Amino acid sequence: MMQPRERFMATLNGQPVDHVPVFPLLMFLAADRAGLTYRQFATDGKALAEAQLAAQERYALDAITACSDAFRLAADLGGAMVYPENKPPYLAGPLITSGADLSSMGHPDPTKGRMGDRLSAVRALAHAVGGRVAVLGWVDMPFAEACSICGVSSFMLLLRDEPFTAHRILTFLTDLVIQFAVAQTEAGADMVGAGDAAASLISRASYVEFVLPYEQQVCRAVHEAGGLVKLHICGNTNHLLEPMAASGADLFNVDHLVPLERAQAVYAAHNKCFKGNLNPVVDIMQATPEQCAARARACIASAAGTRYMLSAGCEVPAETPDEVFRAFCAAARE
């Protein structure tokens, strides 16, 4: 039987495997099963790592991710943070309201602060699994970071009203995202998950102008550092699949709003690996074990002959009954 990381890497490279890798995104579920409040999970890298390791052992996962929220970089740039007990941390208010604010922005050290806490989780995971399980770090791509530090609506207006300022902000953030991603690669992450969910809200033309060039820079830098990249854009990305495939990422998440067959056709044409696309609520949380397993098997069958990993379209809810999630994971091994 193949080891989890071996199975993960073989699938990425289009090589034969004993079964489809199981690689869901677990945050709230991992925290819940470990008996942690979400605040503990998001603010203590050691606790996050222990929760991910416990989930991997409990469900025989092939890959685990040091991810909790989208505001690591924003916090280290000086943003006022709010840490609810049982919800993800968030920024109390925008850091940048105009191009003039860029001059006061510093360049935080990715080994310190909230970024440093994520590095500690990556190191702990990599050390604990000893190369047996694939370990992922996490960053948010420059466009997603810009939406976080400016506010989604405000940054979207900049794309139309002040595109030059939007590009200045994106250029500034790209350097910081690259430093954070490379630091996690050097800390032992096999791959860096890269979220860019806000990109699903814009047109294909805007994606090509304001998102793709910066994603490509991040992917190149991680590859040069010896790592790999997973691009995670949840939502309806039907109109973006082709340009997304040109980002340079090695693995692509497919949400339930995108037909798996359509994603399969695009990514197979580009020799790329993809994962998804069970609806995390309807197909998993609200399903019976039999219904969930049947839906998982349908995805596996649909993706046969391509580079595919079993996953929900986005994060698996903590409210998912254990017997249902076990049925989901077991479907790949049947």
CATH number of the domain at 141, please: 3.20.20.210
Nearest to 14 by CA among 232, 250, 248, 227: 250
Helix axes 113-129, 163-186, angle to 10 degrees: 40
SS3 66: coil
Q: Which helix (H) or strand (E) holds 310?
A: strand 308-312
Its pTM stands at: 0.97
Q: What is the pLDDT of residue 100?
A: 86
Give ∠ CA 204-199-135 in degrees, rounded to 5.
Answer: 125
pLDDT score, position 159 = 97
Residue 227 lies in domain? 4-331
Single-letter residue type at 146? A
How many other β-carbons are positioned within 10 Å of the β-carbon of residue 226?
A: 10
Q: Angle, nearest 10°, between helix axes 163-186 and 142-150? A: 120
Interior/surface letters 126-153, b for 16+ CB within 10 angstroms, e for the rest: bebbeeebbbbbbbbbbbbbbbbbbbee
Backbone angles phi, psi at 46, to 5 degrees: -65, -45
Flag residues of the chain having pLDDT under 50: none
Q: What is the pLDDT of residue 197?
A: 96
> How many domains are contained in the chain?
1
Residue 334 has a pLDDT of 85
Q: Return the pLDDT at 186.
A: 98
Query: In whole angstroms, what is the distance from residue 282 CA to residue 272 CA?
Result: 27
Cα distance between residue 266 and residue 256, in whole Å: 16
